[in-house]
Amino acid sequence: MPSPSLSPRVGATAAPPIPAARSWAARYSGGAGPAIDLTQAVPGYPPPDALLERLAHAAGDATFAGYGPIDGEPALREALAEDLSRFYGAPLGAGSVAITAGCNLAFTMVMTVLAGTGEAVMLPTPWYFNHRMALELLGIAAQPFETRAEDGFVPDSERLEAALTPRTRAVVLVSPNNPTGAVYPPEIIARIAGMCRRRGIWLVIDETYRDFLPSGAAPHALFHDPDWQDGMVHLYSFAKSYCIPGHRVGAIVGGGAFREQLLKLLDTFQICAPRAAQSALSWAVPALTDWRAGNRRLMAHRAEAFRQAMAGLPDWRIDAQGAYFAYLRLPEHGPDAMAVAETLAAERGLLTLPGPFFGPGQSRHLRVAFANAGEPSLAAVPGRLGMKDPPVA
């Protein structure tokens, strides 16, 4: 009797990288000390007690046990719109905000609206692997565009425009970037936005880590354009900024014809985002402004501590760093990133993600998510990297 078949598209999509990296660490004996997990971008500190109390209260409130508005609780949409308006210095209304069950789902829904099977979306490489996976699962081609270490992994707008094809329906920017940490200058974002407008291509800008920008200043002026809704979509996540990744709350900011079509996806893919978390966040967005600023300073301090620690290993170079991440270049003439990452995890208890998980041309880099480790753990990283025996798989 023949077995029922499964989707070939899903079968052709690579497995998620983080479980793969953690499977290497299952072989670690503990000989180098406690394992240091720098694979996943998770906050290395808890939410404030006041937020936890509101989450608990809302979870026990029968009001939030039923379905809610498909585009999010009005109070949270209004709070986020006000926060965005202050941050970007441009008027944004709640009517442009949709709350989602996490930012990964937000991206998937946005891509479903903007492109179809056989069309393409440009992802600068190194890319966020879940973006590439989502496109593959949708039957949309992930079109790689190389960003270079010598440019700080910031896209070159002229090269990017030359790489567009007739199939390209959108360009995705992630700044601060995952995996490199690179922060795109406002003028670069403006040039790419202008190019997208001229070419009739959507710009999707993922600013999950915007609360960790080193300066704390607005990273671009795109919302100042009165017609921004005609060609741009903004993505945001509450997970990192409020230390609640398990509650799965993200946001899409967009309007006009795009929003009209998005409502179909919101109803089909999620019905509504988690309501208890939305209730608590509607208080947190205005109330925790100073707390978020403190976390931005904390992350900047950890970044500097990591940079200073790595200064003792001149063969290892930080090619880019920012927000939650450092992008390390491996020593020359050694094994490639896949071999190094596996050995570091299995033999030295240091979990990182190898560059090839983030797209083509990344075999000489490791991503380090320093946000989820305290300074003692970060100080121990160079020792694991610089142990006498070179890593070989």
CA atoms within 13 A on the CB side of 318: 22
The three-state secondary structure class of 134 is: helix
Range 291-320 average pLDDT: 93
Q: Does residue 304 carry a pLDDT above 60? A: yes
List of long-range contacts for 288-292, beta carbons under 8 Å, 24+ apart: 288/48, 288/51, 288/242, 289/83, 291/48, 292/211, 292/241, 292/242
Looking at residue 387, its pLDDT comes to: 65
Global pTM reads: 0.95
Looking at residue 136, its pLDDT comes to: 96
Residues 326-341: tens digit of each pLDDT: 999 999 988 999 999 9
Q: Does residue 384 carry a pLDDT above 90? A: yes
Looking at residue 393, its pLDDT comes to: 40
Q: Does residue 392 carry a pLDDT above 50? A: no
Q: pLDDT grade, residue 310 (50/70/90)?
A: very high
DSSP H or E run through 381: helix 375-385
Q: List domains and CATH numbers for the chain.
A: 8-46+291-385 (3.90.1150.10), 66-287 (3.40.640.10)
